[in-house]
């Protein structure tokens, strides 16, 4: 259901300006329904039909491709190399993610994931073998805007409204989903290099190596980038009245905090924030383990592993902030009271959080074969 041209023409200049410039990409069924405003004026809606891709029981309509490929190369008796490429890509058709009877506001979605892996096994000596592996894993989920730019979406009430079981739609994105948000998505790339060595000497079988991870997470989340304009917080009649008067009960939009925090003052006018983040992580681990035979049938395992999980860092660190405890930064009521939210580079930690550098993990085990 959409407001009729006659109801829009009878409304205030502000309402007429909001609806001006939008094209209705739907066909009228000839059926109408109405809401009587508190002043007695009648807001009439026209029932319309339009086509869009939707899940009617067999899954969301999509065009997809999946592929897995592997190449092996036995370079010599002492060197073997293989490579793997896997692809998983799906394009979800227009309207499957968000639909609207107004032109330019129906959207689809995209997933485009791939994995590349190259590994080599090489025998340095008869009892010394190494394995090197490089992996790139890319995950992409994208829920973009359509042809129209971002802007406020109008709603009669705070929840999705219906008349006689038919949903009401005003212009702009997500007319049936108040509080939802697009655009959303972006690529996450994980680079991994792993190195392992196995060395057998006497009764000992030594294994040692490590891994390094570099994670690049580039995401956009347009939470309230499309502002929510609510005509009424009470009744449909009050909403119809505000429709004619060009007034709102509630306006919600994301604003640039200007480096300020709750309780502090912003400088007007407030502009939109940066909805994208380019987070970076670095992690690594190293390990060593010795499996050795103490006596027939009894094998012991001793090992040590160290892991480092680096703090999240934005490409622009001034977009990162966190709550930091006061005093000696321990978790006490006094330090909580004296703590504050700060921009990461200006905090006592100098970044989003202090890295934990004490992640040592010893391992002890044994295996006993009573039949040996």
pLDDT digits (tens, 9 = 90+) for 313-332: 999 998 898 999 999 888 99
| pLDDT (0 to 100) of residue 217 | 95
| pLDDT (0 to 100) of residue 73 | 97
pLDDT tops 80 at residue 262 = no
161 found inside a domain: yes
- Give pTM, 2 decimals: 0.83
316 found inside a domain: no
Please write the tens of the pLDDT for every residue from 50-61: 999 888 888 888
| pLDDT (0 to 100) of residue 162 | 84
Q: Tokens at residue 255, please?
A: 């604003």
The whole-angstrom separation of Cα 89 and Cα 92 is 10
Q: Are 61 and 67 in contact (CB under 8 A)?
A: no
| pLDDT (0 to 100) of residue 295 | 82
318 found inside a domain: no
325 found inside a domain: no
300 found inside a domain: no
357 found inside a domain: no
pLDDT tops 90 at residue 203 = no
368 found inside a domain: no
Higher pLDDT among residues 289 and 159, named by residue: 289
pLDDT tops 90 at residue 285 = yes
* Cβ-proximal residues to 20 (8 Å cutoff; 6+ apart), any chain: none
Tell me which residue range forms the domain holding 6: 2-290
pLDDT tops 70 at residue 199 = yes
Mean pLDDT of 181-205: 94
Q: Are 89 and 112 in contact (CB under 8 A)?
A: yes
Mean pLDDT of the chain: 93
Counted domains in the chain = 1
Mean pLDDT of 245-260: 91
164 found inside a domain: yes
């Amino acid at each position: 259901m959409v407001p009729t041209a006659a109801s829009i023409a009878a409304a205030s200049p502000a309402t007429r300006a909001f609806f001006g410039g939008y094209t209705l990409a739907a066909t009228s069924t000839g059926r109408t329904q109405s809401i009587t405003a508190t002043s007695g004026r009648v807001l009439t809606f026209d029932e319309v039909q339009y086509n869009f891709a939707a899940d009617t029981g067999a899954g969301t309509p999509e065009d997809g491709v999946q592929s897995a490929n592997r190449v092996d190369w036995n370079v010599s008796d002492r060197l073997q190399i293989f490579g793997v490429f896997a692809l998983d890509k799906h394009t979800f058709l227009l309207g499957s993610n968000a639909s609207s009877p107004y032109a330019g506001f129906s959207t689809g979605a995209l997933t485009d994931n791939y994995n590349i892996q190259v590994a080599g096994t090489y025998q340095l000596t008869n009892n010394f073998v190494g394995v090197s592996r490089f992996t790139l894993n890319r995950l992409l989920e994208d829920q973009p805007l359509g042809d129209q730019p971002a802007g406020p979406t109008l709603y009669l009430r705070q929840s999705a409204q219906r008349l006689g079981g038919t949903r009401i739609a005003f212009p702009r994105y997500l007319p049936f989903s108040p509080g939802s948000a697009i655009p959303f998505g972006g690529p996450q790339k994980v680079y991994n290099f792993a190195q392992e060595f196995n060395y057998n000497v006497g009764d000992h079988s030594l294994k040692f190596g490590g891994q390094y991870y570099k994670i690049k997470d580039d995401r956009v989340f347009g939470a309230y980038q499309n502002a929510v304009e609510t005509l009424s917080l009470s009744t449909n009649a009050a909403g119809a009245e505000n429709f004619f008067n060009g007034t709102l009960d509630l306006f919600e939009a994301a604003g640039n905090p200007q480096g300020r925090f709750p309780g502090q003052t912003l400088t007007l006018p407030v502009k939109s924030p940066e909805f994208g983040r380019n987070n970076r992580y670095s992690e690594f681990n190293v390990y060593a383990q010795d499996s050795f035979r103490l006596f027939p049938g009894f094998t012991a395992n001793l090992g040590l592993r160290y892991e480092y999980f680096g703090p999240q860092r934005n490409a622009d660190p001034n977009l990162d902030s966190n709550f930091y405890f006061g005093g000696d930064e321990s978790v006490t009521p006094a330090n909580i009271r004296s703590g504050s939210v700060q921009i990461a580079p200006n905090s006592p930690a100098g970044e989003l959080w202090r890295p934990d550098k004490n992640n040592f993990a010893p391992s002890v085990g044994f295996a006993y074969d009573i039949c040996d």
